[in-house]
Every structure is written in C-alpha cells, then in structure tokens.
C-alpha cells in the first residue's frame, strides 16, 4: 500500500514567520506533527511519502503514485485542502481526511472517502483494517478521547528536518477552562490527558539523534494544566536530561496567565530550558474577559504578571482580541497602551471570530448574528464571521490602527528596548553556546535588510548599539526579536493594503 501524506499550504500568517525564517534559510516554521504521529501508527509494510506543501509543491506524479492520500489540516489551511481534494478526485485516488478542519466542518467534505472526526489515534487501527478489507468509505467518530500514553513518537525520518526552523512535540491535550471563543475543549475535552515523562524523553532523544539543535515547541494548548505531574515528574526529569545534554534545545509552549502565581513552576520550567510562553491575554477590558468566560485573567494586574515572567526568564508572547460585545471605541487605544507598557514583543492581535464548535458560535447562532462561510481560521486577516455590536468599519479601522501602531518601527523598538530592560536571561551554567552558523548569517542579513534597506534602519542600529552597551548578554535574542518584528510588520502592512483594495468583509457584514 502506497500512502501519500499531505499537509496543505498555509497562507502568510502571523505565525508562519515567512519573512523571518528566510533569514535562516528555512522553508517552514513547524513540521506537521499530527501526520508524523499518524505515520508511526501505519503498518510497517506500507510505503509512506509525506509532502508538506509549505516546503514543496504537490505534483500530479505524487498523486498518481499513491493508492491513498491522507490529509491533515487546520481551518486556516481550508483553501489549499479543497484544492488537494479536487486534484485527488480528478485522478481517482481515495482520500482520508483528519485534523481540526475535518473535525469541526466535517459536513463540508462529502468528497472525502475516509473521514476522521476527533483524534486520529482512536481510529487508525480500524482504518487500516477497513483498507485491507476493501471498505470503500467510512466516517470514523468516537465520543471518547485518546490515551496519550499509547501515542507513538513522530516519524521524523520521513521528512527533512533541516527544512524547518523549529521542531515540536506534545505532552498533553485538554484544557480545564471554558473560554467561549475557543474550540480546544470541544475537540479535546476539559480533562487533561498526558503522555508519560518517559515518552517525552524518548521523543526528545529521537530529535537529539537527528542532529537538530534549536527551538522545540510543546504544542499543548495549556502546558501547565496538570501542574502536579509537571512539578513532581516531567520537569525534574527534563532538567536532568537537558543538563546531561548541555541544553541542546530551547523550549517554548502555551500557558495560562496564572502561571505567574506559581514561582516554583516558573523556576522549574526555566531550569528545564523553557524561555518563551504564549499567553492569551485577550483584553485589558475586564468586562470583555468576563463576557468570554476568561475568568483566569480577571481580578489580577495583567501587566504586573507579564513583567514578572519577563524578570524570571520567560518571554511572554501575547494573544489579544477586539470585537467583544463589551468593547467600546476606546478599546483600540487601551490595547495599544497595554501592549507597549507590558513589553510584549510578539503581540498577536485579532478580531473576534466564532469558530464552529464553540459556545460563542452557538450563542451567536441563536441570536441570528452568524455570517456563514466566512470563517477562515486566520485570526489576523480582518475576517469576521458574525455581526459585531460595535460598528463594523470602526472595528476594522480600529484593529488596523492597533497593529500598524504597535509594529511601526518607532513603537516596536521602544517596546523591544523596554522588554530587554526588564528581561532577565536564565542562568544555565551547563548550557553550551548554540549560536549556529545560521544565526550568525541571519545577523548579517539583518544588517542589510533591516539596517540598510529597511525603513527601521535608524531605530535598528540605535537599539543594537544600546544592547551592546547595556545588556550584551541579550544580543542574540535582541537580533532575533528585531527580525520577528520585521516579519510582523510586513504581515500587517499586507493585510492593511489588501483591506483597502477589497471591501468584501465589510460588504458581507453590512449585508451587501
């Protein structure tokens, strides 16, 4: 059996880092972890080929070669996924589809022969059995959740890891919270399930043995959801492993803001090699946080929590949302001020959307406020799939004001300087210098792109001189973040230009 595993193409997005990874000659930011895990569960006598369309083009010959095509995708990859499905149908090749896109919008994929709704691990054994028996089509669905202790390590050998800026693994699934705009719990449940620490160390050993050194993303939606297991099991073992290997990786993950209340957990994560965490801040407007069931963020000084994490060695990347029912016209300036004053460099700001499967989606549907067939899964592309209470033009104009303000060179480098001032680099005496040739080349490229050709050149050089004089140990991080800022600015400039040329979203909201 010849199986073609396909990961559809992403559009240019905030997290694609397309303009940043070009500095280190990488083709994509992250590998398709789900497909690589599923590949490890398929029979060993099946011949596998994986095509990540973010790395290389999908050719007709690839599809002709396959007996079956297996696609995994998220909502943001929908357009590319539909093109792949059409091409497979044109060649008469059977299709299996899984992942978040197929799970939340399964009714839209009538042309998919084998449809996986939910977690793929639950159904691979049945799928393989059905293929061998000649079953022509089937929908695989279960109300249960996968036992992650039985989940295998990814098949890194079927991709070229040198194509990727970072690699990834997963410790847990599920989230104890109930944010009404988030579909994580509808897909993975509230109960937090984890792999064993032995599984994680085995997966890290596999990555280490490939020769890869650099960033590794724990893709958990809330890494700290099972604190006792982290504190008493995984993190102590991970610290020992990282010390023994001289810290070959820098870890980053997603957490909730209440990590700032737990000094022991913060210190363990930093000692284990974590240097960056993404946190959904969402809004400085507490009424909007309450509206969206984001109770873990209320009754606290959010800025103080963020700065504390910076001082303890964890850089905070923040998610922000505008368009809540409780937002007023001053929310845009409030968001700008909050982001600038907290020193969050990677601030992902989006307009509120209601993904299928969320409580917000169901609520807006009852209120007859949903706009069908407009959800893109890209929360920074100014698409809106419901009728907001704030005037749509004011919402979009205000949103564009936020992103163009925080990423214009003057404000960005002011914020970057403030972050470097407040940030304390972790003290890890066992760590060897992982300054690769790629990173050195990236610095020299930045001298040209940012320092000579870029509109930020004055701010860039003035900032780097300040870093050398005041915080020289942070110089590699400072260069990296300057390059990230270049990517973010390019993305939002393109979004602003495309909006000015095309008022499709505005017409849809206004009923035009």
Q: What is the pTM of this model?
A: 0.95
CA atoms within 13 Å, Cβ hemisphere of 62: 18
How is domain 2-141 classified at the CATH fold level? Answer: Rossmann fold (3.40.50)
- In order along its 512 residues, the chain shows pLDDT tens digits of 999 999 999 999 999 999 999 999 999 999 999 999 999 999 999 999 999 999 999 999 999 999 999 999 999 999 999 999 999 999 999 999 999 999 999 999 999 999 999 999 999 999 999 999 999 999 999 989 999 999 999 999 999 999 999 999 999 999 999 999 999 998 999 999 999 999 999 999 999 999 999 999 999 999 999 999 999 999 999 999 999 999 999 999 999 999 999 999 999 999 999 999 999 999 999 999 999 999 999 999 999 999 999 999 999 999 999 999 999 999 999 999 999 999 999 999 999 999 998 999 999 999 999 997 778 888 788 889 999 999 999 999 999 999 999 999 999 999 999 999 999 999 898 888 767 788 899 999 999 999 999 999 999 999 999 999 999 999 999 999 999 999 999 999 999 888 875 554 555 555 54
Contact (CB, 8 A) for 154 and 204 = no
367 CB-near residues (< 8 Å, 6+ apart): none
CA atoms within 13 Å, Cβ hemisphere of 114: 21
Question: What CATH architecture applies to the domain 166-421?
Answer: Alpha-Beta Horseshoe (3.80)
- The tokens describing 29, both together, are 């930011």
DSSP-derived letter for residue 92 is T
Nearest to 407 by CA among 498, 495, 283: 495
Contact (CB, 8 A) for 272 and 235 = yes
The phi and psi torsions of 161 (rounded to 5 degrees) equal -65, -20
Instruction: Note the pLDDT of residue 473.
Output: 94
Q: Do domains 2-141 and 166-421 have the same CATH topology?
A: no
Return the CA Rg of the chain.
Answer: 23
Whole-angstrom distance, CA of residue 201 vs CA of residue 196: 9
**What separation, in Å, do the N-terminal and C-terminal C-alpha atoms of the chain show?**
50
- Tell me the domain boundaries of the chain: 2-141, 166-421
- The tokens describing 197, both together, are 């620490």
- The tokens describing 24, both together, are 């280190």
The phi and psi torsions of 312 (rounded to 5 degrees) equal -95, 5
DSSP letters for 426-453: ---TT------HHHHHHHHHHHHIIIII
CB atoms within 10 A of CB 468: 12
Instruction: Note the pLDDT of residue 502.
Output: 55
């Amino acid at each position: 059996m010849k199986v073609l595993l396909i990961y559809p193409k992403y559009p240019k997005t905030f997290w694609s880092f397309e303009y940043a990874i070009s500095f280190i000659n990488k083709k994509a930011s992250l590998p398709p972890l789900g497909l690589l895990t599923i590949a490890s569960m398929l029979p060993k006598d099946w011949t596998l080929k994986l095509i990540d369309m973010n790395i290389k083009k999908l050719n007709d010959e690839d599809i002709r070669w396959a007996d079956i095509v297996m696609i995994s995708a998220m909502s943001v990859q929908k357009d590319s996924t539909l093109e792949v499905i059409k091409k497979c149908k044109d060649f008469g090749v059977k299709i299996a589809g899984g992942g978040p896109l197929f799970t939340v919008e399964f009714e839209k994929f009538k042309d998919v022969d084998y449809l996986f709704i939910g977690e793929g691990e639950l159904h691979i054994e049945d799928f393989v059995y059905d293929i061998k028996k000649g079953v022509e089509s089937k929908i695989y669905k279960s109300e249960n959740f996968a036992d992650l202790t039985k989940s295998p390590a990814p098949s890194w050998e079927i991709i070229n890891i040198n194509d990727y800026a970072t690699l990834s693994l997963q410790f847990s699934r599920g989230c104890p919270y109930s944010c009404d705009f988030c579909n994580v719990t509808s897909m993975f449940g509230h109960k937090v399930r984890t792999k064993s620490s032995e599984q994680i160390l085995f997966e890290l050993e596999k990555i280490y043995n490939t020769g890869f050194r650099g960033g590794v993303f724990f893709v958990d939606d809330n890494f700290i959801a099972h604190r006792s297991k982290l504190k008493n099991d995984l993190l102590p073992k991970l610290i020992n492993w990282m010390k023994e290997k001289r810290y070959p990786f820098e870890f980053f993950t997603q957490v909730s803001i209440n990590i700032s209340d737990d000094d022991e957990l913060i210190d363990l994560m930093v000692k284990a090699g974590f240097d960056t965490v993404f946190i959904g801040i969402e809004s400085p407007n507490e009424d909007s946080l309450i509206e969206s069931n984001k109770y873990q963020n209320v009754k606290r000084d959010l800025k103080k929590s963020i700065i504390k994490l910076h001082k303890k060695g964890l850089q905070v990347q923040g998610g922000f949302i505008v368009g809540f029912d409780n937002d007023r016209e001053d929310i845009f300036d409030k968001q700008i001020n909050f982001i600038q004053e907290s020193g969050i460099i990677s601030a992902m700001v989006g307009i509120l959307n209601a993904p299928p499967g969320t409580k917000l989606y169901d609520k807006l549907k009852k209120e007859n406020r949903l706009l069908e067939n407009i959800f893109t899964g890209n929360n920074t592309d100014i698409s809106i799939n419901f009728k907001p209470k704030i005037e749509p033009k004011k919402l979009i104009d205000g949103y564009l004001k936020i992103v163009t303000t925080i990423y214009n060179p003057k404000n960005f480098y002011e914020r970057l300087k403030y972050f470097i001032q407040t940030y304390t680099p972790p003290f890890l005496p066992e760590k060897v210098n992982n300054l690769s040739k790629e990173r050195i080349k990236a610095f020299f490229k930045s001298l040209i792109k940012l320092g000579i050709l870029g509109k930020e050149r004055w701010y860039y050089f003035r900032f780097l001189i300040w870093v050398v004089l005041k915080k020289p140990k942070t110089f590699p991080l400072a260069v990296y973040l300057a390059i990230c800022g270049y990517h973010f600015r390019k993305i939002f400039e393109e979004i602003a230009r495309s909006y000015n040329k095309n008022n499709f979203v505005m017409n849809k909201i206004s009923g035009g």
